[in-house]
Structure 1
Amino acid sequence: MVLSTRLALSLRPTLAALCPAAPLQRRGLSASPAPKHTIDLRGIFPPLATPFSPTQEVDYAQLEGNLRRYASIPFRGLVVMGSTGEFPYLSPRERLEVVGCVRRALPRDRLLLAGSGCESTQATIELTGSMAEAGADAVLVVTPCYYRGAMTSAALVQHYTKVADASPIPVVLYSVPANTGLDLPLEAVLTLAQHPNIIGIKDSGGDVTRIGLMVHKTKQRGFQVLSGSAGFLLASYALGASGGICTLANVLGSPLCQLDHLCREGCWQEARDLQHRLIEPNMAVTRQFGIPGLKKAMEWFGYYGGPCRAPLAPLSPSQVELLRSTFSTNGWL
């Protein structure tokens, strides 16, 4: 399970440098198909933004600087190469190198989830295997969507089943209809939740009724539902979600971990007050201004944001002012 022969040969020196100690064997994972592992996903995961230099190359020094700052926040782990990481704009080599860089810097008690979704099943299987070699603990697999009209529930079940059968590490489903135009059907999720190597889903659709149903229908199997946004994190927890993969955690990681803690302790009034202050900033760095807005906000909180990779464009001065006002009026600046 590697990339195509030509690409795999070109990646060998890179992967050897990133993972010199044979990660699969070092971490007790088998390279044989479809092992049955599970990991505890309870807690907050920031889907890391990928830092770029002014020339739009991946800036690994700035990435390491951000990771040092995140180390003091009690995240359950990190997500690398999710939508916030601009993964469609990175090559397979870059995606693997970023994962390897994060794995080196990440304490062993923190999880690393890596986005390995591609449009074809075969490419997803190959990249999933390479992500495992680069040090990922699990993979986050977005729905293929280019031929969305053909992506029936049956087609998606077949896709994810083949990926999970071949993956040496656990698989987390990823439904993000705002980006893909395709929601992973509930009946497909319930079918896939029975697969022993599919351990959960990140659901970013914002339908808390759907989240509640997924929790209710799969809880006996130990399937873990993760809220895909800070905007409905409290509602997701109230319905039994395990954790959250939240873009806003790149900026307000400590408050989101505090919200996680309050919900687990049953301090619902305090949790509600905090959730209210997070809704507008979350909307600003997701639906309203997207990744350019997130990266601008990161700079105000001591992180490196930097430019996005084209064709994503920076915010205008008026947009920057509106973004700043959103954070300040909710007491964050």
Structure 2
Amino acid sequence: MPVQHKLDGIYSPVLTPFKADLSPDLDAFIFHCGWLLDSGVGLAVFGTNSEANSLSVAERRMLLDALLEAGLPAVRMMPGTGCCSLSDTVELTRHATLAGVGGVLMLPPFYYKGVSEDGLFRHYAEVIERVADDRLRIYLYHIPPVAQVPITFGLIERLLKAYPSAIAGIKDSSGDWGNTEGMLREFQPVGFDVFAGSELFLLRTLRGGGAGCITATGNVNPAPMVALFKSWRDADADRQQAALDVTRAAFQKFPLIAAMKAAVAEYGGMPSLGTVRPPLVGLEPHDKQALLASLTTLRLRMPGFERLHDALAGSHVGHT
């Protein structure tokens, strides 16, 4: 069986930049991913905050291929591959696994509500059997506030029993610390990695033996998160966590995707980075002004991100 790189630390669902015609901006995407890697953050591309469910299968494949062709390390990637369609999920999962990614982050099929545990088990089993690759490592994506299809403890137990090498862990975006704590208690001892779905729970997750967090605002505030991951046993860990909480709160006052895109547009000197795909809409001017004012007060910095404008004006962008 191939040796697997253990995934831990901070991962971010990378924002997908769009051009004026709403097509993906490959160069800006590559730059942002390279900047995150340089900041110590892994790439959970095609997550919720990547607007993944507004991207086609072909677009997701193209974007992943662009990162690989730019020389970014596949082992530091955890692309989202879960779709409502079984065949789409299989195609994206096979493509990512063949590319050598560290793992895939997989939503349950979420259109039909109230589906049974048996139905969800069959879905994941079909994906694993059809991909049929010993390198496959699935991180389940539990986000009931959005998907409304939960990943239950019973389902995790069944999947681990049937496919212990393929089922690697979970991102818990329930927003319920009791649920995350229960997953850590029940499944972390058997090697099942638990990632919190927000940095708000990062310190508690690490103290409980978890792997880290996969968080939207890793796009804009990566360095302090990475610092806490590396120093969570230190005396000032609670102070670091409190600072993360304040910055997160500044973004959560607004629609999160639009707010983060407004921030990267400002810090990168490229207004086009604020573009979102319908049905989402960008921040209203007064909301953008309020957000940026609060980030100035908090002294949020994105060191090196200002090079985006110059990099895209050149002939090549990639990982530096």
Question: Is this a same-fold pair by TM over 0.5?
Answer: yes
- Report the Cα distance in structure 2 between the residues aligned to 1:106 and 1:204, rounded to whole angstroms: 30
Q: Counterparts in 2 of 1:142-181, with a 5 A limit?
A: 142-149=107-114, 151-167=115-131, 168=133, 169-181=136-148
Instruction: Identify which of 207, 214, 233 aligns with 2:183.
Output: 214
RMSD of Structure 2 on Structure 1 (CA): 2.3
User: SS where residue 226 of structure 1 aligns?
Assistant: strand
1:314 match: secondary structure: coil
- Distance across 1 between alignment mates of 2:190 and 2:154: 15
Aligned position for 2:291: 323
Further displaced range: 244-253 or 184-193: 184-193
1:156-305 correspondence to structure 2 within 5 Å:
156-167=120-131, 168=133, 169-194=136-161, 195=163, 196-263=165-232, 266-267=233-234, 269-285=235-251, 288-302=254-268, 305=273
Larger relative contact order (Cα-Cα within 8 Å, sequence gap ≥ 6) = 2
The CA distance in 1 between the partners of 2:15 and 2:275, in whole Å, is 11
In 2, the alpha carbon distance for the partners of 1:246 and 1:205 equals 13
Q: Secondary structure at the match of 1:225?
A: strand
TM-score (norm 1): 0.81
SS at match of 1:205: coil
Structure-2 residue corresponding to 1:21:
none
Cα offset, 1:172, TM superposition: 1.0
Deviates more, 1:100-109 or 1:173-182: 100-109
In structure 1, the residue corresponding to 2:43 is in which secondary structure?
A: strand
**What is the DSSP-based 3-state SS (H/G/I as helix, E as strand, rest coil) of the residue aligned with 1:130?**
helix
Q: Are the equivalent residues in 1 in contact too, given 2:15–2:50 (CA < 8 A)?
A: yes
Secondary structure of residue in 1 paired with 2:141: strand
Deviation at 1:107, TM superposition (A): 4.1
Q: Give yes or no for contact 1:48–1:81 (8 Å, CA) kept in 2.
A: yes
Partners of 1:50 and 1:317 in 2: how far apart?
A: 21
Equivalent residue in structure 2 for 1:310, among 278, 293, 308: 278
Q: Is the 8 A contact 1:200 1:223 kept in 2?
A: yes
Alpha carbons 2:68, 2:74 under 8 Å: kept: no
TM-fit CA distance, 1:332: 2.1
Structure 1 distance, partners of 2:196, 2:170, is: 9
Give CA deviations for 1:88-111 in whole Å, capped at 9, x if unaligned: 111111010111112233543852
| Secondary structure, aligned partner of 1:310 | coil
Aligned partners of 1:297 and 1:192: how far apart in 2?
39
Q: Answer yes or no: is the 8 Å Cα contact 2:74–2:99 preserved in 1.
A: no
TM-score (norm 2): 0.84
SS of structure 2 residue aligned to 1:115: coil
Q: Counterpart in 2 of 1:61?
A: 27
Match of 2:315 in 1: none
Q: Name the aligned partner's letter for residue 259 of structure 1.
A: L
The gaps in structure 1 that reach 5 residues or longer are 1-34
Matches within 5 A, 1:97-136: 97-108=62-73, 110-136=75-101
CA contact (8 A) 2:220 2:263 kept: yes
Cα distance in 1, alignment partners of residues 157 and 176 from structure 2: 16
Output the CA distance in 2 between the equivalents of 1:199 and 1:38: 11
Q: CA deviation at 1:287?
A: 7.2
Describe the shift of the 1:199–1:99 C-alpha distance in structure 2 as closer, same or farther (beyond 3 A). Answer: same
Amino acid at match of 2:267: F
Letter aligned with residue 144 of structure 1:
P
Tell me which amino acid in the other structure corresponds to 2:147: T
Give deviations 1:51-106, integer Å, cap 9, x for gaps: 1112211111111222332342122x211111111111111110101111122335
Match of 1:58, SS state, is: coil
* 1:248–1:301 distance in 2 versus 1, CA, 3 Å: same
Structure 1 CA distance for aligned equivalents of residues 107 and 3 of structure 2 = 20
Q: Which moved more, 1:222-231 or 1:190-199?
A: 190-199
Counterpart of 1:214, as a letter, is: M
* Contact 1:193-1:218 at 8 Å conserved across structures: no
- Residue 156 of structure 1 and its aligned partner are, at CA, apart by 1.5
Counterpart contact for 2:75–2:102, Cα < 8 Å: no
User: Letter of the aligned partner of 1:187 in structure 2?
Assistant: G
CA deviations over 1:104-163 (Å, ceiling 9, x no partner): 3354385211111111333322321123345533211112111112x2222222222222
Q: Which stretches in structure 2 are left out of the alignment for 5+ residues? A: 302-320
Taking a change above 3 Å as real, the CA distance of residues 287 and 112 of structure 1, as seen in their structure-2 partners, is farther
